[in-house]
A and B are shown apart, each in its own frame.
Chain A
Amino acid sequence: MRGAGLLFAYSLKRVRTLTLTTGLLLAALQLVLIFVAGSIQTSGGFDQLSALLPPFARELLGPSVATFMSFSGIVCLGYFELAVMGALIALAVTLATIPASEVEIGFMDLILARPLARHWIITRTIAVTTVVSALMLALMVAGTWTGLRLFAPKGIAWPSATLVNSLAINLGMLTLCWGGVAMAIGAASRRRSVAGGAAGLLALATFLLDYIARLWQPAEKIAWLSPFRYYNPFDLITGSPLPLKNLAVLGAITLTGFAAAYVLFARRDISH
Chain B
Amino acid sequence: MAPISIRGLTKRYGNLLAVNNLNLEGVEGEILGFLGLNGAGKTTTIRILLDLLRPNSGSAFILGHDCQTDGLHARLNIGYLPGEMGVYSDLTGREVLDLLAGLSGHAINKARRGELQERLEFPTSDLRRRLREYSTGMKRKLGLIQAFQADPQLLILDEPTEGLDPLMQESFYQLLVDVKQRGRTVFMSSHVLSEVDRVCDRIALVRKGELVLLSGVEELRKLAARPVRVSFADEVQAPAGLPAGAEVIETSPRSWRLTVEGPLGPLLHAIAALPVRDIEIAEARLEDVILKYYRDGKA
Which chain A residues have a beta carbon within 8 Å of chain B's beta carbons? 2-3, 6-7, 10, 14, 105-117, 267, 269-272
Contacts and interface: CB of A to CB of B under 8 A. Distances in A.
A3 B106 CA distance: 11
B97 to A, nearest CB: 11
Contacts of A267: 54
Which of A112, A113, A267, A270 has the largest number of chain B CB atoms within 10 A? A113
B86 A114 contact: no
Given A110-B86, A114-B75, A115-B73, A270 B104 contact: no
B52 A112 contact: yes
B85 A106 contact: yes
B99 interface: yes
A270 B88 contact: no
A185 to B, nearest CB: 20
A14 B72 contact: no
A112 B82 contact: no
Contacts of A14: 88, 90-91
Which of A3, A6, A108, A269 has the largest number of chain B CB atoms within 10 A? A269
B102 to A, nearest CB: 4
19 contacts: A3-B105, A6-B103, A7-B99, A7-B103, A10-B99, A106-B82, A107-B88, A109-B52, A109-B80, A110-B80, A110-B85, A110-B146, A111-B100, A113-B80, A115-B71, A115-B72, A115-B105, A117-B71, A267-B54
Given A115-B73, A270-B47, A110 B53 contact: no
B284 interface: no
A107 B75 contact: no
B interface bracket (residues with beta carbon within 8 Å of A): 20 to 34
B55 to A, nearest CB: 10
Majority-rule SS of B interface residues:
loop
Nearest to B48: A269
Nearest to B55: A269
A118 B259 CA distance: 55
A6 B52 contact: no
Contact of B87 (A105, A115, A269, A272): A105
Contact of A107 (B54, B87, B95): B87
Majority-rule SS of A interface residues:
helix
Contacts of B156: 113
Nearest to B80: A113
A114 B96 CA distance: 13
A117 B72 contact: yes
A106 B96 CA distance: 13
Given A106-B86, A110-B82, A270-B52, A2 B102 contact: yes
Closest 7 A-B residue pairs measured CB to CB? A106-B86, A113-B80, A114-B103, A270-B52, A6-B102, A105-B86, A3-B103
B154 to A, nearest CB: 11
B9 interface: no
A112 B156 CA distance: 14
B82 A109 contact: yes
B94 to A, nearest CB: 13
B50 interface: yes
B66 interface: no
A269 B76 contact: no
B88 A105 contact: yes
A3 B86 contact: no
A114 B106 CA distance: 10
B103 A111 contact: yes
Which of A2, A110, A112, A117 has the largest number of chain B CB atoms within 10 A? A110
Contacts of A7: 99, 103
Given A110-B100, A113-B52, A270-B53, 19 more contacts: A2-B102, A3-B103, A6-B102, A6-B103, A10-B95, A105-B88, A106-B82, A106-B85, A109-B82, A110-B86, A110-B146, A113-B50, A113-B156, A114-B103, A114-B104, A115-B73, A115-B103, A115-B104, A116-B72
B88 A113 contact: no
B84 interface: yes
Interface in B62-117: 71-73, 75-76, 78, 80, 82, 84-88, 90-91, 95, 99-100, 102-105
Contacts of B103: 3, 6-7, 111, 114-116
Given A113-B50, A115-B76, A270-B47, A107 B86 contact: yes
B54 A269 contact: yes
A113 B78 contact: yes
A93 to B, nearest CB: 19
A10 B98 CA distance: 10
B131 to A, nearest CB: 11
Contacts of B151: none
B210 interface: no
A192 B102 CA distance: 26
A192 to B, nearest CB: 12
A106 B84 contact: yes
Interface in B137-188: 146, 156
